[in-house]
Structure 1
Amino acid sequence: MAALEPQYMTILKKVLAVRFVPFLPPLLGNANSTNQAAKQLSRAFSAFALHKLLDITPQAAAASVVDDFNDKGIDAIHYHEPSETLYLLQTKLKESEQFKQEDALPFCEGIRLLLKQDFTAFNENVLNRKADIEGALDACSHIKLVVPYTGDGVSQTARDALQALLDDEDLDEERLVKPVEYYAAADITRDLLAEQAYPPVHTDIALQKHAKVENPRTTYYGIARLTDLVALHMDKGKALYERNIRYFLGSSRSDVNKAIKATLRDDPGSFFYLNNGVTAVCDEIELKGKNPSNGFRKFKVRGLSIINGAQTVASAAEFVAQHPGSNIGDAKVMLTLIKAPADGPFGKRVTKARNHQNPVQTANFASLDENQERLRQEIAHLGFAYHYRPEAAATGPQAISLDEALRVLASRQDDPRYAVWLKSVPARLANPESVEYQTLFPATLTGVALVNAVLCHRAIRTLVVDYEQKAVARSQEKLIYRHAIHVIIGVMMKRLRQRIGAAATIDAATIPGLISQPLDQLRQQTFDLGRQRLLGLGPLAYFRNQGSVASFMAELMETHFMLAADPALPNLRNINTAADAYPRKSLLDYLSSKAPQL
């Protein structure tokens, strides 16, 4: 079993320090500040596990920690009254180490002493809770052993030691629950990401003149009050549109949204006839009672997600907020409810088909990529907001849009064609079904790597744009900086590969100082090489040509990375395999791999 990945370990330690450490019982031992900080995180991990497993508050979880010297291998003791279960935990917050026999044996010893109610060997954290623990031992119906760990598994000898304890008839303790519960890296990752996930929407929906389709999917359709959907929008926010390809774009950016608001203002009774309606998918639909006075039937819906019509509902909500005295009670809308998991193949198919009828960009369908939602959740833990769906509020230094992510990730590729595509056909990269998009967003891409790449890209781009602005107007130098910007950024990003791939986010304030000198050198080298190459050819045309850019980047990297004397280069220059995706691939891949790291 794989250990907790470094980027999630970084997130976990941050959560432990902020959310649990302040509520832990005081440390009993004397240790230096560095060791104390590490010990506190280790203790807090027990509280984190209890918090996630039992859905108790961080304060209650932290109060259950007894981890310190003389804890006899027991790191936390918690009585869960609703289930009448006494939880005993031993945790291991190590980045790669297994939970071993040497960890399990003290835990087994501590459990034996605790079951005998022999407290003489325990520390003050246990002794201070002696009465509560004795009461829990008397009242509990179950005693459950839990081993949370972040390493790469549990050794067989450790499992055998714990199982021997559970099978020991001499203990005369039938309340011990078999088997031991292990809380591993996959569970930790799942629970960390879930913190940033939108909660499922469970609600009641009222439909008038409804009808039902049984096959192949249970579907209800009918007339809904727009005010009901507005109220749902106000209550649930973005969670209501978790599977929609776009969030609200704002009425100022959409003529359609302006028209929706105009109809609500001038003729709400005609809204039903002028609107295409709303489509939603859900996990469950249950038919409930009917109001005989108005013919509305109530439906209990679980896991609701509006997949088409977000602009309709959000525009109406914006109108109501801006005109609190207005009356849109006469406004109705056709609502279709399809029983289908939003993240399943059919749900995605419906989302795509329904939205193809509207003027949307191909890139909007990236919202159906599960990888994008994972990245959003990871990035939220880092203090940034990743907006992979178009929306009006995607601005500010902490915001990262899908468009920016595409440009940034393209600049990290060894393939020189990405620099050309950024210049000439950037939409090619945004199609979720394209090879290029899938290359940019592999399942291995981490949220922290994307954030770090964005921060580096922003700093480099700012300096290159400044070079262009300071160059003489209408000069060749100015045009080279303008049209070779993707080449320059691509070369410099290769020198930041290790920093981008780190498990923690880069301090953005340090990047300009780190790159200014080598980037200025690269600027001069780009200009010098440009003057040699651009004989009778304009910079715009040159840097939109794949062959020209591949040749230019190869020579620029050789110069900037100081590889002219590299003995491997003469042979690589002559390799041109027909099966390669682009000319000089072997040479460019080799040069990229040799980028000296800053």
Structure 2
Amino acid sequence: MSAPLQENRQLDIIQASLLRDFEPFLDTTSFTHPDPAQRVPNLASRALAGAVVRDRLGCDTERAAAMVTDGGQDFGIDALAISDGSPRVWLIQSKWSSKGAARFGEVDVMTMADGLHRIDQRNFDRFNAKLLTHRGQLEAIWQDKQLRVTLVLALMRRDPLHDNVITRLDEVRHKFNALGDYLDYEVLYVPEIWEMIRRGGEPEPIGISIRLDRWFDISTPMRAANGIVDAAQVAEWYAQHGDRLFQRNIRESLGVTQVNAEIQRTLVEEPHTFWYRNNGLTMLCDTIKVTPLSRIEPYGPATVDVRGASIINGAQTVAAIASAMRADSAAAGRAAVGIRIIESDQPEVSDEITRATNTQNRVELRDFVALKPEQVAIREDFRLTLGLTYAIRRSELEPSPESGCTVREAAIALACTLTTPDLVARVRQNEDLLWEDGPSGAYRRLFKGQPSALQIWRSVLFVREVRDSLHKISGELEGRAEAIATQSMLVVAHIAFTQLGRDGVDDSDVDWDAVLREVHGLTFRIVQWLISEVDQRYGKSSFITGTFASVDRVRSLVAGVRVAIDAGQDAPGLAPEYQPIPRQRRPRRRNTVALLVDAGRIKDGSRLTFRPRTRPERAALAPWLAEDSLRGVATWVNNRMKPLVWSVDGKGYSPSGLVMKMYALAEWDGAPVAVQGPSRWHLGEEGSLLWLAREVSAESSTEDDEDPAVDIDVDALLDAVDDALENGGQP
């Protein structure tokens, strides 16, 4: 077969495979063209985006299809993939061509950059309903200090992109990474897509040939080999297989962390000590074949061939080894690494081993402070002077807010009271820095002078007051302004303390309650100034995540805000786009569910998705919803009392009743006593139940007379409750 014919055949196979796998699960309600043939390119493009999700997450096809966001107002984001085990996000754009000549230009790059920018700014107003389904997860993961974002361009073309397009991509990456290594991009052409489709939802098992220097084996209750491998081999596995090497693990590599940095240092500077200092790797596989290389030394060098390999414990060690090998392969490659290889083809046994190896208690840098004499003295000072609890060890019960604090809370509060903001900027990225005890370590700056219990406790109360004030203030802000308020907590606390808290923090004669009463007003002024300073210094398109992770930028922002406040200048007003739009009261209407059922507006069996409505609700429920994709899904049945069948337990609920149950299961202490459930359950891109009911009501030419006892405007009443909650409890 000639090369062109072979290539065309490859394109046909890719299309057929994508349509076969994804067509049953993709939302096609937005396809309005009357010619069915015109649906194929649109469907194939969405299926391609879903295939990338499936490949990156290793999930099933149905879940991957649910992550496709392609449609109007997607801002170049046709799908997104959010890792369950690490702060990883893939934003995907797909371009389809049945001839293998998909177009992708500079405009497409800038459209996708706009979408990325809107997510970073928490500006979700114009995104379509599909992407808004994942808003809570995005907002939660975007605040993670180890966030890593990859733009994936899946292009059905063989020719490489024009140099100008690559330059544009590099510019976007450079701008986003100006303050840290957060963003990367990858381009998938036809050959890469072909390989991805071949892997499908079930990637080909990883096969590795391992040379062990010393080893022994165990045969019951399952076969296992234990031995020593050199670091160079480990780095080679990672280079070849990447994060697929951790497919059965509960998480992949977390990137650069304090622990990983120490592993890298040991590998480069003291490789001969690595085996003694590191717990090594645990590998699970389907089959093991051990071939000793010496007949006279049966447990000497051996080759172990494994199939279906996955490292279930030691992902951070592998990533650190790969990084150290890039820095100094000659030194790091000599390090000896311990490894256990366990053979198991039983999924339930494999899962149990994975859980067990990843739930052992890890020693953190904070744990070592329990040995410090000054911490014991501070605890005694808290007990004797204040009658409060000061918890040092992680194993101790955390005291209630009114009865004391932990050493962690104390360290963060003391960091906010330092004369410079450097530490609060660095701690936001890595809390382990608080416990570094070298000559220039943060721990020495915070505790070596042994601050009094009164100073620590008052500092803690001050930072708590700032935190609570910011929580209230953020509810009055929108988009970028809300992101600044959310991510600047320690910076705001530092500025506020320099203005109010420094004088008298260690003086028992000072009325500290009076100081705390001034915090809320000052916090709001500081936030206003911070928003203004960030926009003026770095532009309204600057990335918020990186800005507050940069020591230089934080130092500059703090100086600017302090100068303005010290000069007595009035705080700048908020731009209109940073303020919530007041909602108008709606007229009295019939019960939402009754309207929809009577009109037959929704078909039995239709899929509904849950979308949190208020900011506190999103913050409280996002982690819980992310744990199980079924928690945010229900099926509609035309029943006036219980029209929602929850995918988790198969039971029927009213819209509001199910939301209240979800609040309880998520253990949200701040949950409201009533909720407008119909505004939170959505029928695809068509809108919420509340919106659909309004459409039905508007289309009705006459109003039915209802029994007054039944015709209660529950939705309007709960609107008022929602408004009160969003306004800090004030109706």
**Which category of TM-score, normalised to the shorter sequence, fits these structures?**
0.3 to 0.5
Q: TM-score, normalised by structure 1?
A: 0.35
Q: TM-score, normalised by structure 2?
A: 0.29
Structure whose CA Rg is larger = 1
